[in-house]
Amino acid sequence: MTDDRPRQLGRTPPMGWNSWNAFSCDVTEADIRTAADALVDTGLREAGYEYVVVDDCWMAGETDSEGRLQPSADFPNGIAALADYVHDSGLKFGLYSSAGTETCQGYPASLGRERLHAEQFAEWGVDYLKYDNCGDHRGRDAIDRYGAMGDALASVDREIVYSICEWGEHAPWRWGRNVGGHLWRATDDLVAKWRADPDEFGLGIADVINRMAAIDAAAAHGPGGWNDPDMLQIGNGPASGQSEHEPVDVQRPLTEAERRSHFAFWCLLAAPLMIGADLTSLSAFDRDLLTNERLLAIDQDPLGMQGTRDRREGDEEVWSKRLQEGAAVLFHNRGDDAREISTHVTDADVPAGSDRYRVQDCWTGNEWETDGSLAMTVEPRDSAVIRVTPR
Ligand code: GLA
């Protein structure tokens, strides 16, 4: 199966905000308006975060008599008015449904009613659909279910980014593009922890990084279709009440080093950057991290390559990502003590054929030159990121 649909959308990894991590099932129309305002006021819109996505629980418990989705009482002005508000803020509007009979929280979803719902989305002014994997699948396989919505979206008179949320269960990087997807979740739900307790729901940031290194998904990744390791957890954590039942040692916000590593890895992976935090309480540190221009340029590089792991030895990891000009190299320290981590341009995905390279530290902006040796001192659980350009 090939997809010959035009791919103007998603030429670079989509960026925006999603309601799920901060508001879960309590989301209201007012929260979405506030989030749109905050994207503008914090400068996040200016930095490129453009999609405002309402996740699960926006819909009423019953469809209308013809099977159309209806907004819940928490969206009193309806979805079209909310989309207008978001558009008037210079942003784009996203909505959620599921490729099953119900959403993950038990609300009506779209299996078997794809055309009807895609028409609703288009009429309402939806620019982005997150399509989850919950509910009864009625015996239909993933490609068939996600393909049905991909065809429905292609049939309506509006360009809608198609975000497949299949949790990586049936290797969606192998078929996501062919069913019209612009991004597909490659991993299970991410929570605001460095490592998750295996007995509890969700994966930690280090767990997802390991999974992204292990799966054979990088080749499928590029302009028009992206592997999605889930929302950014920067700004989330126990303070938002998410982790109140956890053991003491993980009942703390992610450290600054862990948050830097989280963002650095997502940019090196050229991941979609969907912020999951309540934007009204974002710290200055988190805001500055999310708007770091040097990191965002790596994520949004037009070549669209996913970075890959060059080596892992004990607590040291080196990853690299080819860029349109030069490459980005990430040095990660998994250990508890600061250490120097080194590599050489010939071992990283840096264009060959030069004997001088310009190097820039993406956190400090400092620049220097090298004949090819690269070394950075990295604090525990932190990551150094450099941009290396042949002279
Ligand atoms: C699943 C998805 C999450 C979120 C919830 C909503 O768990 O993977 O991203 O959309 O459902 O119920």
116-120, Cβ contacts within 8 angstroms, sequence gap of 24 or more: 116/66, 116/67, 116/68, 117/68, 117/69, 117/152, 118/149, 118/152, 118/153, 118/155, 118/156, 118/160, 119/156, 120/68, 120/69
Query: Cβ neighbours of residue 44 under 8 Å, at least 6 residues apart?
Result: 17, 38, 275, 279, 287, 290, 291
Residue 250 in contact with ligand 1 by CB distance below 6 A = no
Q: For ligand 1, is residue 20 a contact (CB within 6 Å)?
A: yes
Q: Tell me the per-residue pLDDT of 168-200, one tens digit each, with 9 for 90 and over.
A: 999 999 999 999 999 999 999 999 999 988 888
Q: What is the model's pLDDT at position 252?
A: 67
- Supply the residue whose CA is at minimum distance from atom 1 of ligand 1: 104
Question: Residues of the chain with pLDDT > 90: what percent?
Answer: 91
pLDDT-based confidence at 242, cuts 50/70/90? very low
**Average pLDDT for 114-134:** 98
Check: CB of residue 160 under 8 Å from CB of residue 127.
yes
Distance in Å, CA 370 to ligand 1 centroid? 45
State which ligand 1 atom lies nearest to the alpha carbon of 105: 12
Find the 336 Cα to ligand 1 centroid distance in Å: 33
pLDDT at 1: 44
Q: How do residues 75-108 score in pLDDT, each as one tens digit?
A: 999 999 999 999 999 999 999 999 999 999 999 9
189 is catalytic: yes
Per-residue pLDDT for 27 more than 50? Answer: yes
Give yes or no for residue 105 CB within 6 A of ligand 1: yes
| The predicted structure's pLDDT at residue 3 | 57
In this predicted structure, what is the pLDDT of residue 312? 96
Cβ–ligand 1 distance for 318 under 6 Å, the answer no
Q: What is the pLDDT of residue 157?
A: 95
In this structure, what DSSP letter does residue 304 have? -
Q: Indicate whether residue 189 lines ligand 1 (CB < 6 A).
A: yes
Confidence of residue 33 (pLDDT cuts 50, 70, 90): very high
**Rounded average pLDDT over 265-279:** 98
Annotate 131-186 with DSSP letters as a single string.
Answer: EE--S--TT--HHHHHHHHHHHHHHSSS--EEEE--TTTT-GGGTTGGGT-SEEE-
Ligand 1 atom at minimum distance from 167 CA: 8
Is the pLDDT assigned to residue 136 strictly greater than 80?
yes
Annotation marks residue 55 as catalytic: no
First to last CA, the chain: 43
Query: Strand, helix or coil at 263?
Result: helix
Kindly give the distance from the C-alpha atom of residue 132 to the centroid of ligand 1, in angstroms, as a whole number: 7
The alpha carbon of 353 and the centre of ligand 1 are apart by a number of angstroms equal to 46
Nearest residue by C-alpha to atom 9 in ligand 1:
189
Question: What strands lie across the sheet with 92-98, from one edge to the other?
Answer: 226-228, 183-185, 161-164, 128-132, 92-98, 51-53, 15-18, 273-275
Q: What pLDDT is stored for residue 6 in this prediction?
A: 54
* Residue 342, CA distances (Å) to 166, 312, 356 in order: 37, 12, 17
Q: How far apart are CA 189 and CA 280, in angstroms?
A: 23
Q: How far apart are CA 72 and CA 211, in angstroms?
A: 37
Is pLDDT above 90 for 4? Answer: no
Element (H, E) at 287: helix 284-290
Q: Which atom of ligand 1 is nearest to the CA of 57?
A: 12
Confidence (pLDDT) at 200: 85
Of 145-159, 244-258, 269-283, 329-343, where does mean pLDDT reach its minimum? 244-258
Q: Whose CA is nearest to atom 6 of ligand 1?
A: 56
pLDDT for the residue 247 = 43
Atom of ligand 1 at shortest range from CA of 231: 9
Supply 178's token pair: 């062919």
CB atoms within 10 A of CB 133: 20
Predicted structure pTM score: 0.95
pLDDT given at position 329: 98
Q: Give the residue, 166 or 239, on which the prediction is more confident.
A: 166
- Of the listed 31, 74, 84, 189, which one is catalytic? 189
Nearest CA to ligand 1 atom 8: 189
